[in-house]
Structure 1
């Protein structure tokens, strides 16, 4: 079971590395939007 989850985790990390910049951009955008709402 552990090896299976490790494989999934490695796959997610690879996806996450590609998506991290998008996620950072999105979170920054969200912060700006939430500041504007408040």
Structure 2
């Protein structure tokens, strides 16, 4: 769980930039469940 916290933190900004520009709004919505799981 501790290893998932930092990994998700780095994945949030990194995936938010390329995913939002490379993929449509359908991708960012898929990341929502990931953030909820970390919370």
Q: Same fold (TM over 0.5)?
A: no
Return the structure number with greater helix share: 1
Interval of TM-score (by shorter of Structure 1 and Structure 2): 0.3 to 0.5
Structure whose alpha-carbon radius of gyration is higher: 1
